[in-house]
């Protein structure tokens, strides 16, 4: 029944997307066969009032009708241009996560249930909501101290949002499984794995304690950085469903005229934004992954304050090294080294030729050199990079895609501040400094120290490893003698799982087909 409900919800979502003209707005001229027929039918079924709208406006209208879960899906897919393409990702990134506020009484219930104290005990005053999104809304409030009163922002989870999201998540998984089964060329993009990532990131985003921890970590990492900070967390007034933060007084980075009127140097802010982001990424391996203008404020002294850290990205030391070398290779036009790094990282299968891949990288890098600063686009470069990596069977790397998407967004914000902004020239000091510190003599000493620690850890585990090796050897001997065997319970579970997936896929297709027939009858 759960799969049946998911199929109905998926069919309904498809109908809404069709009626609002989203499917008709997709580039369907190059399709053929059934997909092209479906695209033509979608054009006929589009509402008349939707025909005159742009694609992003149609998408916004459809998502508004579908509800909060689809807002989060759209925002998430905006971080995956490798899955939906750069143009669609850009449209999705323009989605405004603005919802109606819910009654203050419900916020009070959520706060008191989460923290186990009355609102009157926690806050001197709890004001009306100032903003509302798909997952939570924000109130202003005041906290009384022994000798003063401070203003804070209180973020409260929207009632019922978890249940609604995980109900719709079933439909997302069903769509991903159908896509993997019936559209073979998309399997490289791992749609089920992408959906699983959405489930995990949203689950984290719906626990405000984890957002508080991310803010705290980023705050510690950047406490000595010039011109960048995040608001401090009031841990006493933070729980799973409520997050209390320092109130930020500043101008939103989307208010260009306001920044200019306040006397800020927009070029300096643009450079500071890019360099701060790269420092967080390369130095710390932890970065704010939702740095759109609505989440960035500029204080009177020009300091950038980033809020809403529900989406964050991480890179380990090895990934950071590869990233720095790839960026530096593009900056210095060392395309062969960029290609070598892709092979060393295991991004490109070994059966391809390094020189051939370097040639493809050169085709991407050369157009960005010698051009005026305002024409050098990171978004265009990433579009070409995705096309090339598909040719060379490079598998999707979710952590790198999130980083690349964030770089595109940050570059876009910088260009709104400074139309002549040069991403590469501004990045070079941070990237070259990191390479000098981490790939030079100091970096070699650090790698040697890490290697010695790894060998010491391995030596300590030697007795346990020897015992495991002996057991594995015996199991291999038995397997060679008797073949691979499953115990009855495992074999039975595999058979049931396969049968269940087959039935659910067929049921979903029938439900979608019957829904389309019903829609056609209604329109007749």
Per-residue pLDDT of 29-85, as tens digits, reads 666 777 777 878 888 888 877 777 777 778 777 877 887 788 877 777 776 666 666
Q: Nearest CA to 329 among 318, 340, 319, 338?
A: 338
CB proximity list for 165: less than 8 A, separation 6 or greater:
68, 69, 72, 202, 206
CA dihedral 502, 505, 507, 510 (to 10 degrees): -130
Alpha helices in 124-229 (DSSP H): 161-182, 191-205, 208-221
1 falls in which pLDDT band (50, 70, 90)?
Answer: very low
Residue 435 pLDDT greater than 80, yes or no: no
What the block records as the tokens of 92 is 């999705």
More confident residue, 132 or 326: 132
Q: Look at residue 214 in the predicted model and tell me its pLDDT.
A: 94
| pLDDT computed for residue 247 by the predictor | 95
Mean pLDDT, rounded, for 141-149: 90
**Residue 290 to residues 37, 93, 211, 307, 397: CA-CA distances in angstroms?**
37, 10, 13, 9, 18
Flag whether pLDDT at 363 surpasses 90: no
| pLDDT at residue 7, as a whole number | 84
Q: Would you state the pLDDT for residue 182?
A: 78
Give residues with Cβ within 8 angstroms of 425, minimum separation 6: 373
The average pLDDT across 126-146 equals 90
Residue 108: the pLDDT is 95
Q: How far apart are CA 102 and CA 119, in angstroms?
A: 17
165-169 long-range Cβ contacts below 8 angstroms, 24+ apart: 165/68, 165/69, 165/72, 165/202, 165/206, 166/199, 167/5, 167/9, 167/69, 168/9, 168/67, 168/69, 168/70, 168/73, 169/69, 169/195, 169/198, 169/199
Q: What confidence tier does 94 reach under pLDDT thresholds 50, 70, 90?
A: low
pLDDT at residue 487 greater than cutoff 90? no
DSSP state of 394: P
Rounded to the nearest 5°, which phi and psi values hold at 244? -110, 125
Q: What is the pLDDT of residues 400-413, one digit of tens each?
A: 667 777 887 888 88
Are the beta carbons of 295 and 307 closer than 8 angstroms?
A: yes
In this prediction, residue 127 carries a pLDDT of 93
| Least confident residue range of 71-75, 351-355, 369-373, 446-450 | 446-450
For the ranges 196-200, 258-262, 360-364, 433-437, the maximum mean pLDDT occurs at: 258-262
Which range (20-34, 182-196, 483-497) has the least confidence? 483-497
If phi > 0 it is left, if psi is from -120 to 50 it is alpha, else beta; for residue 357 that is alpha
pLDDT digits (tens, 9 = 90+) for 278-304: 899 888 999 998 888 888 999 999 999
User: Closest Cα to residue 56, out of 93, 19, 31?
Assistant: 93
Q: Which helix (DSSP H) or strand (DSSP E) does residue 361 occupy?
A: helix 354-365
**pLDDT of 210 strictly over 90:** yes
Beta strands 228-229 and 312-314: pairing type? unpaired
| Domain layout of the chain by residue ranges | 3-97+164-204, 252-439, 486-523
The predicted pLDDT at position 221 comes to: 95
What distance in Å separates the CA atoms of residue 460 and residue 465, rounded to the nearest whole number?
Answer: 10
Structure tokens at 294: 């609505």
- Average the pLDDT over 197-210 and give the result: 85
d(CA 9, CA 172): 10
Q: Supply the residues annotated as catalytic.
A: 290
User: What proportion of the chain, given as a percentage, has pLDDT over 70?
Assistant: 76
Confidence of residue 481 (pLDDT cuts 50, 70, 90): low
Which residues sit opposite 229 in a β-bridge? 305
First to last CA, the chain: 30
The contacts of residue 221 (CB under 8 Å, 6+ apart) are: 280, 283, 284, 286
Contact of 41 with 24, CB cutoff 8 Å: no
- Is 387 or 268 the better-scoring residue by pLDDT? 268
pLDDT tier, 277 (very low <50, low <70, confident <90, very high otherwise)? very high
Q: How much helix, strand and coil, in percent to the nearest 5, is found in the chain? A: 65, 10, 25
The answer on pLDDT for 87 being more than 80 is no
The rounded percent of the chain whose pLDDT value lies above 90 is 26
Tokens of 324: 């720095």
Is pLDDT above 80 for 244?
A: yes
Q: Can you read off the two tokens belonging to residue 485?
A: 């065997």
pLDDT at 371 over 70: no
Name which of 213-217, 244-248, 262-266, 352-356 the model is least confident about.
Answer: 352-356
Mean pLDDT of the chain: 80
* Helix-helix angle 335-344:354-365, to 10 degrees: 130
Higher pLDDT, 207 or 368: 207
């Amino acid at each position: 029944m759960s799969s049946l409900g998911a199929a109905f919800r998926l069919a309904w979502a498809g109908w809404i997307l069709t009626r609002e003209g989203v499917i008709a707005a997709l580039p369907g001229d190059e399709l053929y066969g059934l997909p092209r027929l479906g695209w033509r039918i979608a054009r006929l079924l589009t509402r008349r009032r939707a025909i005159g709208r742009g694609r992003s406006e149609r998408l916004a209208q459809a998502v508004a009708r579908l509800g909060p879960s689809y807002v989060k899906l759209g925002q998430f897919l905006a971080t995956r241009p490798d899955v939906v393409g750069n143009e669609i990702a850009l449209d999705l990134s323009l989605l405004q996560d603005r919802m109606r506020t819910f009654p203050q009484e419900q916020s009070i219930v959520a706060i008191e249930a989460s923290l186990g104290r009355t609102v009157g005990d926690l806050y001197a005053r709890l004001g009306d909501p100032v903003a509302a999104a798909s997952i939570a809304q924000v109130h202003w409030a005041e906290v009384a101290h022994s000798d003063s009163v401070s203003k804070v922002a209180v973020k409260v989870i929207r009632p019922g949002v978890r249940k609604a999201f995980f109900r719709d998540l079933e439909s997302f998984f069903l769509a991903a499984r159908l896509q993997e089964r019936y559209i073979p060329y998309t399997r490289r993009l791992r749609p089920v794995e992408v959906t699983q990532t959405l489930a995990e990131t949203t689950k984290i985003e719906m626990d405000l304690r984890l957002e508080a921890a991310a803010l705290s970590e980023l705050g510690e990492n950047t406490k000595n950085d010039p011109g960048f900070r995040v608001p401090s967390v009031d841990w006493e007034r933070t729980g799973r469903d409520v997050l209390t933060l320092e109130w930020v007084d500043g101008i939103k980075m989307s208010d260009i005229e306001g920044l200019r009127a306040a006397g800020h140097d927009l070029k300096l802010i643009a450079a500071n934004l890019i360099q701060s982001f790269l420092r967080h990424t390369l130095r710390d391996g932890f970065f704010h992954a939702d740095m759109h203008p609505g989440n960035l404020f500029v204080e009177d002294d020009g300091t950038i304050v980033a809020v809403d850290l529900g989406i964050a990205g991480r890179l380990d030391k090895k990934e950071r090294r590869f990233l720095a070398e790839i960026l530096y290779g593009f900056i210095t036009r060392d395309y062969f080294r960029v290609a070598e790094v892709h092979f060393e990282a295991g991004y490109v299968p070994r059966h391809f030729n390094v020189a051939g891949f370097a040639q493809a990288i050169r085709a991407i890098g050369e157009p960005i050199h010698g051009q005026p600063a305002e024409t050098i686009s990171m978004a265009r470069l990433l579009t070409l990079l995705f096309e090339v990596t598909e040719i060379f069977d490079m598998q999707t790397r979710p952590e790198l895609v999130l980083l690349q998407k964030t770089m595109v967004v940050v570059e876009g914000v910088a260009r709104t501040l400074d139309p002549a902004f040069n991403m590469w020239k501004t990045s070079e000091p941070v990237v070259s400094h990191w390479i000098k510190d981490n790939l030079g003599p100091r970096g070699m000493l650090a790698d040697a120290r890490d290697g010695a620690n790894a060998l010491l850890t391995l030596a300590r585990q030697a007795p346990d490893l020897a015992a495991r090796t002996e057991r594995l050897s015996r199991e291999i001997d038995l397997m060679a003698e008797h073949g691979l065997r499953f115990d009855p319970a495992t074999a039975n579970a595999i058979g049931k799982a396969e049968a269940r997936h087959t039935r659910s896929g067929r049921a979903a297709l029938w439900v979608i087909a019957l829904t389309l027939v019903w829609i056609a009858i209604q329109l007749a």
